[in-house]
Amino acid sequence: MFDKDLDHLGDDTIPHVTFRLVDTIYGVSAASVRTMLEIPAVTPVPRAPDFVRGLIKLRGQALPLIDLRLRLGMTSTLADLEGFSNMLAAREQDHRNWLAELEASVREERPFKLTTDPHACAFGKWYDNFATDNATMRNIVRRFDRPHRKIHAVAHAVAEAVTAGDFARSAEIIETTRNKELARMIELFAAARKAYREEVRETVLVLEAGRYAYGVTVDAVEAVEIFDDDALMPNPVASPVGTMPDPVIAMGRRPESDVVVQLLDPALLCRLRDLAPVSP
């Protein structure tokens, strides 16, 4: 965990803390940032706006926590986590069902009609197109290849045993596959879910807006940087996000780069009645 105060920044400069949400870079004045920390325990608040995730505690003070992705009209990180976890759980169940159907087809003496091509099942299609910069996740997903291919190939070995009338052998092949290759895939699915949760760990910026303070969730803090006046331009859109005012007040361009940073006004990110007064 890190907890980095920004009080050391001088009053004669107005740098911005920049951070990433999905593929976009945002920034807030460093003068409004009280601290940064890993996301702590969150207590839900009944009937709060959907973008208010709950309350966190900082040095004995309870502060609202704003899901900044939701506030800006994006999908929440929590929803991304749930969606990815549910997808992996569904692909795991697919292969449990695949092997169970193979077993049933032998027992009931009927053709096995599910795919024997490891690239044609839903997991195989996802696997063939998966890409990530996270080395841990990349290594886990790569280890799926061998057991996944062997599971789909076992249908041919079972068919040969059935054709030869050796039903005991076909049952043995299926049971061995269930205890070995399928069990290995189940382990990898659990490891992939854990790795993804760790990869998308959020950071909290605690912001002050006048007399009020609150936390916002961000995907990752980028830097503390200064934008020249000639690199700033007012927000040309300034349209509401949902029923709230657009908090993007200006655009900044990074020096020696074409990357545009959207600069936010902390006072416009949520309503004052949703905030907590700053402790004296």
Asked if pLDDT for residue 166 goes beyond 60, the answer is: yes
Lowest-pLDDT choice from 11-15, 62-66, 133-137: 11-15
Give the residue from 73, 205, 192 showing the smallest Cα distance to 141. 192
Mean pLDDT (whole number) for 80-85: 95
CA distance 269 to 266: 5
End-to-end CA distance of the chain: 26
Percent of the chain scored above 70 by pLDDT? Answer: 86
C-beta atoms surrounding 131 within 10 Å: 6
Distance of CA 206 to the CA centre of its chain: 21
The DSSP 8-state label assigned to residue 179 in this structure reads: I
CA distance 203 to 39: 6
Distance of CA 37 to the CA centre of its chain: 18
- pLDDT of the residue at 228: 72
Asked if pLDDT for residue 280 goes beyond 50, the answer is: no
Q: What is the dihedral angle through the alpha carbons of 47, 52, 56, 62, rounded to the nearest 10 degrees?
A: -60
- pLDDT of the residue at 239: 53
> Which tops the pLDDT comparison, 100 or 199?
100
- pLDDT of the residue at 12: 43
Q: Which two tokens mark 39? A: 């996301």
> Which stretch of DSSP H or E encloses residue 28?
strand 24-29
3 state DSSP class of 93? helix
Average pLDDT value over all residues in the chain:
87
pLDDT tens track for 141-164? 999 999 999 999 999 999 999 999
Contact (Cβ atoms closer than 8 angstroms) between residue 257 and residue 278:
no
CA distance 136 to 138: 5
C-beta atoms surrounding 111 within 10 Å: 6
Give the residue from 4, 15, 8, 7 showing the smallest Cα distance to 252. 15
- pLDDT of the residue at 178: 98
3 state DSSP class of 270? coil
- pLDDT of the residue at 3: 41
C-beta atoms surrounding 48 within 10 Å: 14
pLDDT tens track for 185-223? 999 999 999 999 888 889 999 999 888 889 999 999 999
The DSSP 8-state label assigned to residue 199 in this structure reads: H
